[in-house]
Structures are given as structure tokens and as C-alpha cells.
Structure 1
Amino acid sequence: MQTLDALTRDARALANGEVVLSAPETEVARQLQICNACRYCEGFCAMFPAMTRRLEFGKADIHYLANLCHNCGACLHACQYAPPHEFAVNVPQAMAQVRGQTYADYAWPSALGALYKRNGLTLSLALAAGLSLFLLLALQMNGTLWASKLPGNFYDVFPHNLLVSLFAPVFLFAALALSLGVRRFWRDITPATSGAAVTPPAASEATQDVLRLKYLDGGHGEGCHNEDDAFTLSRRRAHHLTFYGFMLCFAATSLGTVYHYAFGWIAPYDLPSMPKLLGAIGGVSLLLGTAGLSKLHRQRHPMHGDAAQKPMDLGFIALLFFTSLSGLALWLGRGSAALPALLAIHLGVVMALFATLPYGKFAHGIFRTAALLRHAVEKRQPNQLGLGSE
């Protein structure tokens, strides 16, 4: 609860047209003032050299720095002012709380962002179950839930035009919501990060940092911390399996679309066709990656993150896991009478995944990419303070 002095200060700031920081943002600003005086962790990740370019931390600076933080935990275990010290510096946890706030603040529409933040896991599973049940009931009413005769292709189960009418609005909505959210985020942090335009070298560096997950190495290549103060590369590996598994599955779907419209080749495809190869490798990778992330998430030390974000984090992980699981089950069950039911379940989970993409950890990846790109731009500009190293 805010004190009377804090409420009076905020009321005065609002009357003067100033931007008022939330409680998590105020805490980040406090801790970074301490970190700026110490700088022991300056080489750990991009957040600390970016911090040293600032003596004060406004809302845009805090949002930018919070999304640069990769929550590896290295600075917490290296910090001489970490709890139980009276300064109580815990940068990973403070940054995680602000990141969670940015996902909701920049979400479009904002009400859905707040809802998903509070009930991400329940909402994700309920949406996937509801959509799958809807499709299963449609098959049951049509008398095709259990195949007496194996369909020649997926469109014998669900007509192509029906699938397009179901998925196109969901996909376009997700793309629009993500675009509007990251556009607002980019617009807010650009003036706070030199305002300079993106250059090819900056774009190239940021792309490499994103694809390699450079800052999940703890700043020294030994990895992050998880449940204790021991280094581990498990988080980096699980993230890589998840990210590249998702991209391979998306590539398989995209290539299948090209096959359908350009060549008239109808799904499902057989090995060794490229959509099948990409989908199989991506599905297994996604399954292993999300299982690993779920295990690491449950084992994570409570001081390393924000407990309030667990529903949102686990919701996204669960949808990715069941997307890959149902996709692989559909592949293995293609020659059985269960194919229509397996297809309905898989389509329901995929629709739920895309419907929630703008509000979960997928949005976190987009925002972090934007922050890394602004960092790559900013570090190429003169450091007016003459402080820090990059």
C-alpha cells in the first residue's frame, strides 16, 4: 500500500503533467541507482552497459532495460547488496515484475492482456479444450468423429474453406495485436535510446543476439542459475529447442500452404517431403524444449523471477507442448480410425495458441527483440556520460 507521502507526490506529479512510475518501476529505479554506483556486474549482459548510459531512470528507460534483462540470475548471485542486505537488490526479480507489467500495458486490447496475465494457464487450457470440444462435437453431429473409412486427406474431414474461415481471422487478429503492441513499445523506448535510426550493422548484431540467445550465458559462457547458485546451460538449450522447434513447425505449415496453392498438393504429406520432415523435427524439438522449460520453471528459485507471472508463463508453455504432442499424435495416428478426432484436437489447440500469442511469452520474445535492436543502435552512438563499457 502506498504511503500518504507517496500518494501526495504522485498527485503533484499528475497535476504537473509528469509521468508517474508504478511501484515495480519505482523499485527498479531504486535498485539501478545502487547498481550504477557499484557496476560489478557490468559485463554480465546488455542491460548493465545500457544502464551506465543513464543517471536517471524514467518510465521508458525502465521498460527498455527490463526487456533487455534475460533473467539469467547471474547478477543476483554476484551482488553484495542482495537480500538479506538492507539494500535488498534483486535485479532479476524487479525486472521480471516490470516486464510482466509491460506485457499487459502494451497488449491490445488491454483487457485481454490483463486477463491473460492473471489466469494464463487456466485460460489457455480452457480455450484449447473448448475449441477442441467444439470441433469434436461438429464431427459427431456430422457422423464422422470415428472414421469407418479412412479419409484421403485432411479436407475430407474439415473442408478447406471451413479451415480458412476459422484460422484466418485468428491468425490475422494475433498479427494485428502483436504489431500494435510492439509498435507502441518501440515508439516509447526510441527517444530514450538515442532516437537514432536502425542501421544494417545494428540490425545484424541484434539478429545474432536473438538467434543465439547470447545473454542466456550468464555473461561468462557457463550459463544461468536456476534453483541454486550453480551455473547451468539448461535454460538456454531448452529455449533453443522451443524456439527453433516452433519455427520449424511454422515453416512446415507455410510450405504446406505453398504446396496446396502453388502445386495443388493436398495434405497430409508423406516422408520424405519437406513439410513432413520440418514438422517432425520441429515437433520433437518443441516437445523436448517445452518439457524442459516446464521442469526448469517449476524448479526455479523464487528469488529469480516474479511468482505472479507463473500462470502466464506456464500457459504459453502448455499450449506449445500440447500443440507439438497433438501434432505428433496426428502423424502417428494417420492410418487409424481416430484420425478425425486427433485432427480436431490438434486444430483446437493450434487455434488457442494463436489466439493467445499476443498476451503471453511469445510477446515477450517480440519485445525483447525490439529492446535488443534499440540497444544495438544506442551503443553505436556517443556515450554522453562517458561512463561504462560496451
Structure 2
Amino acid sequence: MTAQLPEPRQYQPAASGAELIPLLNLDEQEVQRQMSICNACRYCEGFCAVFPAMTRRLNFGKADIHYLANLCHNCGACLHACQYAAPHEFAVNVPQAMAKVRGQTYADYAWPAAFGRLYRHNGAYVAGALAVALSLFLLLALAVNGTLLPGRLAGDFYAVFPHNTLALLFGSVFSLAGVALAVAVRRFWRQVSPAERQAAPADGAVFEASAAVLTLKYLDGGHGQGCNNEDDRYTLWRRRFHHLTFYGFLLCFAATLVATGYHYLLGLAAPYPVLSLPVLLGTVGGAGLVIGPVGLLALNLRRAPEHGDARQRPMDRAFILLLLLVSVTGLALLALRDSGAMAILLAIHLGTVMALFLTLPYGKFAHGLFRSAALLKFAIEKRRPDPHGLGGD
């Protein structure tokens, strides 16, 4: 089997002749073509943040295209409103063109750079990480206890896996994932915002961007009716299921932080009562992480092909299914923590969580951070004078 060599990078001379500018690849050229058409039309200017940001530009270089691609929320509203969409000869499809470039940016800015190729085969990567992580914890439980069904342990997870072992394993992997994501987003920011990186954000920009992220503002289609999914009908369910998934994840993470505080600051060891704060947060968050991913998966399976990049469907679905596995196994563990099946359920749950941590920097999770950075850039630049006096902010 011959190894696939990376494509050679091509360059064109800059206007000054003093530096080299990377040429656009085919997907980027398509975004450039469509943005030139949209910039002349401007019918969709009020739909989302992409079009006001577009109007501030007369030309679209690689950095501009990467920025706009990550600013797009793929709601589909502009596609169904466009008079130049297929079967028109211009064949404008902004959501699909942006989706193709957006997936490419995750790989382009990944750190370490060699790991960017994991995005291209993300479904297989997630499946492999899950298999390795499950095997690790099942074998570890067997080695520690001599059996996967050691009998009733009264919910004492640390009788199966020592606390320090878990803290070391998960703390190390989560820290490495956090560093990889932080470096990737920083590389993206420095590329798309060379001016902003030299100055503090304008007043209110961070608040506006945070509000847009936390409310998923641009999943309303620009008119409050929602996104398009399998056809031109509007639906708010994509936004609702994203909210359930997002806040479910945050609540589960908060439950972990509170439990850590209980252990290290208050000296209270698990298991915790059903009505304790860590368990309540984890239960509510787990429920959100079941309903949200199930809904997102159903929408994804029915979504029209022209609404996105078909090449990324395995990555999207693998991430949704992994989140669902984490939540389902966590809730099952809570329900059966006093039974004889606790040890094997714990191993399975920890294996799914470890697989999630291993794949965070090189899977769909990255889109939230890249999009947040793009929204911050949008909030900053809209507070500055339009360089061409043509914008429609």
C-alpha cells in the first residue's frame, strides 16, 4: 500500500513582490466565486453574520474565506432564498461551499499539524479511539479486581479504579486535548485577524460574541423561524437540539468539577447521594445529552445533501453517537451503581469518556471553538469603520 503524499503547496507573488501568498484550492476558489456574486446581489444581507462581514470586503483571500466559512452556521436560509441557486447557471450554494472549506480549516490549523489528517477519516478515528479506550478500561478493571463482575460494591467507583489512577489518566489526556485545541484556534485567529491580535477587543465585542455563542443566535435563519433541513420548510428543532446538547455537555462538565471540589476541598469521597449537587447536575446534563444528540442525529439523517458537505457526514455522526454513548452509559451507571454490574458499566462509561477526550481536538467538537473565534472577529470588526464604505452593518 503506497502512502499518500501531501499535495504540493502552490504560491503566487504578492502585489509588492516581497512575499508569497498561498494560492486558493478548488473549494476556496468556489467560495471566492460565490462571494463575488453575493457581494453584487446582497439580497441575503440580513440573514446572518456572513453577509454583513462579506460586504466589508472587495476581494476574498484565503484568510477571508476561512473566516467567512467558520462564521457560517449552515442554516440553509440563503440557499432557499437565492435567485442564483441551481438550476441557474451560477449554481450558488453558499452553505455547501462554506461547509467544504470549513472542514478543511480544521485540518489546516490542527496541532500537531500531522494530526490534521485525522479529520479526513474521522469516523474511523473515532471508532478506533473508542475500541482502544474500551479495551483499556475493561482490561484495567479485570487486572485490578480479577473479574468484571465483582459483586455489589455499594457504588464505590474507587474500589474498581483507584482515584489517583483515574485523575492521572483523564487529567493528562484532557490537558493535552485542551492544549491542542488552544493552539489550533490561536493559529486560526492569527491567520484571519492579523490586526485584532495586536489590540484588545472593542468595548462590548466579547459580550456580543459570547451571547451569540450561548444563544446560538445564527441558527434562527436570520428571521427567527429557524433552519432549513430536508427541504425549504423552516424548523427551530436544530437550534433546540443544539442547545440541549451544548448545555447538557456543560452541566456534565460542571458535575465533574463540583465532584472534584467535593473530593479535594471538602474531603468528601464518592459515591454521592442522589440529591447531591454533582449527581443532580450530571443527571440533568445526561438527559440533555441524550435528547439533544438523538434529535441532531435524526435531523442529520434526513438533511438534504445540498445543505452541507457529504464528506463530513461521518465526522458529524461519529461525534453525535459518541456523545450519546457517553450520556447513556453514564445514566445507566447511575441507575445501576449499587448492582453487581457496576464495575463493567463503569469501565464502559470511562472508556467512552476517554474516547471523547482523545478525539476532541481532531473531530466535530473543534467547530464550536473555531466558530466562536469567527464570531468574536465579526463583533470586533463591525465596531470599526468600514474600510471601503460599502458595508451594510
Within the alignment, does 1:62 sit opposite 2:65 as a pair? yes
Correspondence list, 1:1-390, <5 A: 13=13, 17-115=20-118, 117-141=119-143, 142-151=145-154, 153-191=156-194, 196-390=199-393
CA displacement 1:275-318 (0-9 Å, x = unmatched) = 11100000000111011111111111000000111121112111
Letter in 1 for 2:142: Q
CA distance in 1, matches of 2:199, 2:54: 18
Which stretches in structure 2 are left out of the alignment for 5+ residues?
1-6
Residue 131 of structure 1 aligns to a residue whose secondary structure is helix
Structural RMSD (CA): 1.9
**Contact 1:193–1:375 (CA<8 Å) still a contact in 2?**
no
**Contact 2:55–2:390 (CA<8 Å) still a contact in 1?**
yes
Shift of 1:124: 1.2
CA distance in 2, matches of 1:35, 1:149: 65
Letter in 2 for 1:87: F
CA displacement 1:234-254 (0-9 Å, x = unmatched) = 110010000000000000001
Change in Cα spacing, 1:102 to 1:348, as seen in structure 2 (3 Å) is same
CA distance in 2, matches of 1:372, 1:225: 21
CA distance in 1, matches of 2:239, 2:253: 21
Which stretches in structure 1 are left out of the alignment for 5+ residues?
1-6
* Residue of structure 2 in register with 1:3 after alignment: none
Which is richer in helix?
1
Moved more, 160-169 or 302-311: 160-169
**Contact 1:196–1:377 (CA<8 Å) still a contact in 2?**
no
TM-score by length of structure 2 reads 0.93
Change in Cα spacing, 1:58 to 1:12, as seen in structure 2 (3 Å) is closer
**Contact 2:202–2:383 (CA<8 Å) still a contact in 1?**
no
Letter in 1 for 2:168: S
% same residue: 61
Shift of 1:129: 2.6
Letter in 2 for 1:41: C
**Contact 1:223–1:236 (CA<8 Å) still a contact in 2?**
yes
User: How many matched pairs?
Assistant: 382
* Residue of structure 1 in register with 2:3 after alignment: none
**Contact 2:220–2:227 (CA<8 Å) still a contact in 1?**
yes
**Contact 2:155–2:337 (CA<8 Å) still a contact in 1?**
no
CA distance in 2, matches of 1:194, 1:345: 43
Letter in 2 for 1:123: Y
Residue 322 of structure 1 aligns to a residue whose secondary structure is helix
CA distance in 1, matches of 2:382, 2:154: 57
Change in Cα spacing, 1:232 to 1:149, as seen in structure 2 (3 Å) is closer
CA distance in 2, matches of 1:361, 1:344: 25
**Contact 1:197–1:377 (CA<8 Å) still a contact in 2?**
no
CA distance in 1, matches of 2:331, 2:105: 35
Change in Cα spacing, 1:319 to 1:310, as seen in structure 2 (3 Å) is same
CA distance in 1, matches of 2:317, 2:90: 31
CA distance in 2, matches of 1:26, 1:20: 9
Residue 18 of structure 1 aligns to a residue whose secondary structure is strand
**Contact 1:252–1:275 (CA<8 Å) still a contact in 2?**
yes
CA displacement 1:60-106 (0-9 Å, x = unmatched) = 11111111100000000000000111111000000000000001111
Residue 270 of structure 1 aligns to a residue whose secondary structure is coil
TM-score by length of structure 1 reads 0.94
Moved more, 226-235 or 125-134: 125-134
Letter in 2 for 1:161: N
**Contact 1:330–1:339 (CA<8 Å) still a contact in 2?**
yes
CA distance in 2, matches of 1:197, 1:20: 31
Residue 306 of structure 2 aligns to a residue whose secondary structure is helix
* Residue of structure 1 in register with 2:4 after alignment: none
Shift of 1:153: 1.7
